[in-house]
Each structure stands twice: as structure tokens, then as C-alpha cells.
Amino acid sequence: MRFAPLVAVLLALVALTAPAAAGGAGSSGLRSGGAAFGDPLPVPDKRPVASRLTVTPRVITAGDPTPVVRLRVRQRGVVRVRARIVVVRLPGSRPVARKSLGRVRTGQALKVRLPKALMLQTGRYVVRLHVKDPRGRTLRRSAGHPGRARIVVRRPKTVPAPPPVLPGGPTPLVPEPAASPGGPGVFPIAGAFDFGEAGARFGAGRTGHVHEGQDIMAAAGTPIVAPYAGTISATSYQSGGAGEYVVLDATDGRDYFFAHSLRRSTVVAEGAAVSAGQPLCQVGATGTTSGAPHLHFEIWQVGWRAPGGTPIDPLPELRAWSGR
């Protein structure tokens, strides 16, 4: 039995060099948890990131239910962070509403509605997500993950009264419109122009319909600009009608329609925010026209081609904006 200690030592050495049983460390060097022996542990992210922040809908009418915010915060190595939503009215930086979300789990998709008590007036707002991790580090913002989104609040929809019947004279298409609530606008043609003859006027006869805008004669290629700030709600091309056109949902609560533009001259995209005087497209003669370059310009109350929407005569305001 004097060899027993030596045998025990040899058996121990064999056990150390042999492959481990199921559930232990195998020949690949991986533990049951999946991490390789000697591999460094994942380094936690230094700051949290808003991997998602969207607001739906982005355009609402004053008095409508508040929008829904969908968000997700990412920070590797951190389980929970503290988050809140802040709403700011533009221009400016003073918050008009705050909503605390408490401690939220990273990587989890959340859906919250802005506070019902928030009375959004007509204008533009930015919804910002604020986050702090357990170390007090705040959200890292970048172009791809800014952690903020914008919303636009339009004026409440109103249906205009029916036009009055004037004895002994023609019935106007719509009542005489009031000036824009946004004040004087920028004239939509950035160059020489002319208002044309009677056939260019609002309400002039057309085959199967009446003219719903004012034609403004100008040289082909003359820039067409936005009368007010707002959001581009549509851009398209209609070969048998309006040609190349742009629709602006302006901050004054009205929609503006620019038609017969030069083909492929549109420099704005749907959903883009524009400022007053910003170029949109160029004067052309696309679609169904007489062939002379001009801008077909329409102003719509409530909304362009929307239920309850009504075109109004643009000429009084165009004369006021141009001074002639």
C-alpha cells in the first residue's frame, strides 16, 4: 500500500488535464454562462442614448387629444435609468409641461401620452427626453439619436358660413376672406411678376369647374418662396392637371398651394419645416396650362382638399404683400 499516495497524485493530475464533464469548462474554454475564460467583461456605456423617440401624430389641432410618445433608452451595463419628458414651445427654451417617467428599464419600449392638462396653443413645440443613469450621467445626443421630436399645433377647424345671396348680382364663390392671422406674408414670387387679366382671377370660369386660385405671371425659373413658416405637407407631379406642385401647411393655420412649377425644380420634401421666404420651387408651365409660365397660387382655410376645407381669393392679400 506504500504506492497509494503516488497513485492518488497521478489520478489528480489526469483529472486536471482531461476535458470537463457536461456543465463544466470544456476544451473550447467557455463556461456554461457563455463567457470565455480570460475574456474581458463588456464595458458599460459611459452615457445613456435615446435609441428611439417619436411623437404621434406630429401635427394636431388645438383641443385634440395630446400626442403619444414612444421611446426606448439604451445603455449597456445599466439596468434602469431615471427619465422624464419636457415640452418646450418654440421659439424659446422655457418648458410648458413636464412628465416624470420614474425609473425605466433600458432596452424596453415605452408608450406614454403627454399630460392631458397640457393645453397646447397654436404654434410649434419640441418634445425632449431627459435621462440620468445611476452615476448621474445624462443623455448623449447626436444627429442620429437626438432624443427630441417636434410637433405642430394648428388652429381649430372652422367651417365657413355659406356665401350670402346678393339680389340683382352674382353670388360670390366664398365670402370676402379676412387677412391671415399670421400678419403680412412674404410675396410668393421672388422676381418680376404680373397678375394677368380677368381669366387669371379667382372664380374665373374653367371647363367643368371654376378657378380656385390666382395666377401670377413670371419668367420661367423665377423662385417661388414660402409666404409663412410651416411644414411641407405634399409635393407631387400631375401631368393632366396641376403639374409639379407643393402644398405648405403654414403656422398661420392655413394651407398654401403652388402649382405648374418647373419640372424637377422642387427643393423641399414632404415633412420638411420651412421658414418664411424660403425657396420651394420655380415658376414653370407644367401640367394643364395655356403654355405661359406662371404660378397658380391658392389659399385654403381649414386644409387643402380636407373635409370642410375652402379656397379663398388670394388676390387681396397678394396685393397687400406686394404693395400694388
Digit-coded pLDDT (tens) for 75-118? 999 999 999 998 888 877 788 888 899 999 999 999 988 876 56
Distance CA 297, CA 10 (A): 97
Q: What is residue 20's predicted lDDT score, i.e. its pLDDT? A: 45
Q: Which strand (E) or helix (H) includes residue 280?
A: strand 279-282
**CATH domain 198-322 topology:** Glucose Permease (Domain IIA) (2.70.70)
For residue 319, give the nearest of 175, 250, 216 by alpha carbon: 216
Q: What is d(CA 111, CA 124) in angstroms, rounded to the nearest whole number? A: 22
Grid coordinates belonging to 64: 385634440
Domain boundaries, the chain: 49-154, 198-322
The pLDDT value recorded for residue 269 is 94
**Torsion angle, CA of 151/154/156/159, rounded to 10 degrees?**
-140
Q: Name the pairing type of β-strands 59-61 and 223-225.
A: unpaired
- What pLDDT does residue 65 have? 79
Strands 214-217 and 294-301: antiparallel
Q: Which residues pair with 109 in a beta bridge?
A: none
**Burial (CB count <10 Å: 0-12, 13-18, 19+), residue 204:** middle
Mapping DSSP to helix (H, G, I), strand (E, B) and coil, where does residue 15 land? helix
pLDDT of res. 57: 87
Q: What is the pLDDT of residue 34?
A: 46
pLDDT at 138: 93
Q: Which CATH superfamily is 49-154 part of? A: Immunoglobulins (2.60.40.10)
pLDDT computed for residue 93 by the predictor: 77
Q: Which three cell numbers stand for residue 301?
A: 382655410
CA distance linking residue 320 with residue 228, whole number of Å:
14
**Is 282:300 a contact under the CB 8 Å cutoff?**
no
Report the Cα–Cα distance between both ends of the chain, in Å, rounded: 122
Q: pTM of the prediction? A: 0.49
Distance CA 179, CA 46 (A): 54
Low-confidence ranges of the chain (pLDDT < 50): 20-35, 159-172
Instruction: List, in sequence order, every residue forming a beta bridge with 152; answer none if it has no partner.
Output: 59, 124
Predicted confidence at residue 121, as pLDDT, reads: 73
pLDDT at position 133 is: 93
